Amino acid sequence: KSTVVESGLLQYFCQFLPRSSPPCLPGPPSLFLIGNMMELTHEHLPIHLTDLAQRYGNIYRLKCGNTTMVVLNSSEVIREALVKKWSDFAGRPASYTGDIVSGGGHTISLGDYNEEWRAHRRLVHSALQRCCQKSLHDVIERQALHLREVLMDYQGSAVDLSEDFTVAASNVITTLVFGKKYEKSSSELQKLHGCLNEIVALWGSPWISALDSFPLLRKLPNPVFARLLKEVAKRDEIIREHLNNYKSQDNKNEDAITGSLLQGLDKHHNTDHRVCLTDIHVHMATVDLLIGGTETTAALLNWTVAFLLHRPEVQGKVYDELCTVLEGRYPKYSDRHRLPVLCALINEVLRLRPVAPLAVPHRAIRDSSIAGYFIPKNTVIIPNLFGAHRDPAVWSDPSSFKPERFLEGGGNSTRALLPFGGGARLCLGESVAKMELFLFTAYLLRDFHFIPPESEASLPDLRGVASVVLKVKSYTVTARPRPVTNP
């Protein structure tokens, strides 16, 4: 009994002792009014934030107006926030322009964490899973063969393949979302994709992001913002029309995600009365999937070819592996465990060029901590995946393209790879993207030898252009057909 009394007394007196306050987050000096705004306008933001990590460490803060941002630069601190403490950091910061492109925060990617968002994400996740199990492999195979035809038609001339990769990725996601009928992308859908790309590009422009930080600017005429509004209206009109068309069909294709979502909506209304999901959720989920599923995968394929031009012997090793293991046939996704050199190539490209280099900003939904630092509610968290993937404490010679690091016992380091983020906000299309990257890369490298057009001088510039998606600067390449191998 006395020990209980003693510990009670100890607790009572301890509350009067001076507490050691948690350490302050390091960061560059913040200027009056604008804070560290200038740091955020850097041309290649992921590289700049990674450079700052060398000075301030794996976790540091930046100020922007009233907002404090915390940048995380190692997979350890990113995992702590996104995976271990996911429920503290699953929010998204509210923004004026984000609200406009997400139909009032109704997309999954920009919607804040709450009951409605969870029900929405569950609905889309199960529709995506159902549809992928039924048709994803076939859809990708058909598009990979179509891409092969397109490359064959170039007859060995030097071309920029970025548009072809975009069309291939866009056809996969459009077919999944709207059904087989739309497999050969209709002109209407091409218009939709053009419009979505324009929205992403405009939204990444400083003319638009300035409106979030400086509300007074919203009163001034802004032609870039006017264009954004026009494109959003166009996008919504096209999607609304597609959904209405779909609903009016007699023979609805339940394999398409749209069908599955609408069906799931009915089921949801019958079983869950706490949150109300409506057509707007189906509409905005369509936007999420079409945007998330096109430029990311296409950019990664383009990076893969660019890196291979710099290290042709890697291309030779992948080709030899494909020939030996597959004996002439085309690969299936289930072959991936027997194709370690190909998988190492894909992992290395995802490591060096995570195409969503700063993920999507998170928001602390309650007071919490990361790496021992106090993080107050509403702090914006920037997971710098680009920086984490070149952390010298994890990766030797981190800036070099070396797929071999994932072979010969290096497989363990895949834990430090976070190209799809993690936790509650893990990329919704991770499994779609992984299958696409595997099959497209395997088909391309089985059938073509990629060579630079003329001389070493024309090798692609590997620094990249960073916006929402990290893309390689445009380059040309010759896709020389490999000799036909009979299975």
**CA separation for the pair 52, 44 (Å, rounded):** 13
Residues 221-240 that bind ligand HEM (CB under 6 A): none
In whole angstroms, how far apart are CA 80 and each of 72, 166, 193, 357, 370?
Answer: 10, 34, 36, 18, 7
The answer to whether 78 touches 85, Cβ cutoff 8 Å, is no
Residues 89-108 that bind ligand HEM (CB under 6 A): 108
Q: How far is the CB of 176 from ligand HEM (least distance, A)?
A: 7
Q: Which is nearer to ligand HEM, 264 or 421 (CB)?
A: 421
Among 346, 349, 432, 445, binds ligand HEM (CB under 6 A): 432
In the shown chain, the binding pattern of residues 167 to 196 toward ligand HEM, with x for contact by CB under 6 A and - for none, equals ------x-----------------------
> CB-based contacts of 245: which residues, under 8 Å, 6+ apart?
none
**CA separation for the pair 334, 237 (Å, rounded):** 40
Residues 120-139 that bind ligand HEM (CB under 6 A): 121
Q: Which is nearer to ligand HEM, 282 or 326 (CB)?
A: 282
The answer to whether 189 touches 215, Cβ cutoff 8 Å, is no
What is the Cα gyration radius of the chain? 24
**CA separation for the pair 105, 99 (Å, rounded):** 5
53 near ligand HEM (CB under 6 A): no
**CA separation for the pair 156, 60 (Å, rounded):** 49
Q: How many beta carbons lie within 10 A of that of residue 414, not counting itself?
A: 13
Among 61, 85, 120, 425, binds ligand HEM (CB under 6 A): 425
Q: How far is the CB of 361 from ligand HEM (least distance, A)?
A: 8
The answer to whether 468 touches 204, Cβ cutoff 8 Å, is yes
Q: How far is the CB of 300 from ligand HEM (least distance, A)?
A: 5
Among 246, 420, 448, 450, binds ligand HEM (CB under 6 A): 420
Name the residue number minimizing CB distance to ligand HEM.
Answer: 429
| Segment contacting ligand HEM by CB under 6 A, of 132-140, 351-359, 364-372, 451-459 | 351-359
Residue 195 labelled as part of a binding site: no
> CB-based contacts of 28: which residues, under 8 Å, 6+ apart?
36, 39, 52, 55, 56, 60, 62
Q: How far is the CB of 136 from ligand HEM (least distance, A)?
A: 10
SS3 of 45-65: the string is: HHHHHHHHHHHHCCEEEEEEC
Query: Residue 263 has which token pair?
Result: 């069906």
Count of residues binding ligand HEM (CB under 6 A)? 27
Query: Residue 277 has which token pair?
Result: 């999901």
Q: Which is nearer to ligand HEM, 351 or 446 (CB)?
A: 351
| Segment contacting ligand HEM by CB under 6 A, of 5-13, 32-40, 183-191, 349-357 | 349-357
In whole angstroms, how far apart are CA 92 and each of 182, 259, 377?
Answer: 33, 28, 12
Q: How far is the CB of 250 from ligand HEM (least distance, A)?
A: 28
**CA separation for the pair 204, 466 (Å, rounded):** 10
The answer to whether 131 touches 429, Cβ cutoff 8 Å, is no
In the shown chain, the binding pattern of residues 276 to 315 toward ligand HEM, with x for contact by CB under 6 A and - for none, equals ------------xx--xx--xx--x---------------
Among 428, 435, 444, 479, binds ligand HEM (CB under 6 A): 428
φ/ψ of residue 401, rounded to 5:
-80, 105
In the shown chain, the binding pattern of residues 354 to 393 toward ligand HEM, with x for contact by CB under 6 A and - for none, equals xxx--xx----------------------x----------
Q: How far is the CB of 344 from ligand HEM (least distance, A)?
A: 16
**Residue ranges at the known binding site:** 427
**Residue ranges at the known binding site for heme:** 427
Which residues of this protein are in contact with ligand HEM, per CB under 6 A? 82, 108-109, 121, 173, 288-289, 292-293, 296-297, 300, 354-356, 359-360, 383, 419-421, 425, 427-429, 432-433
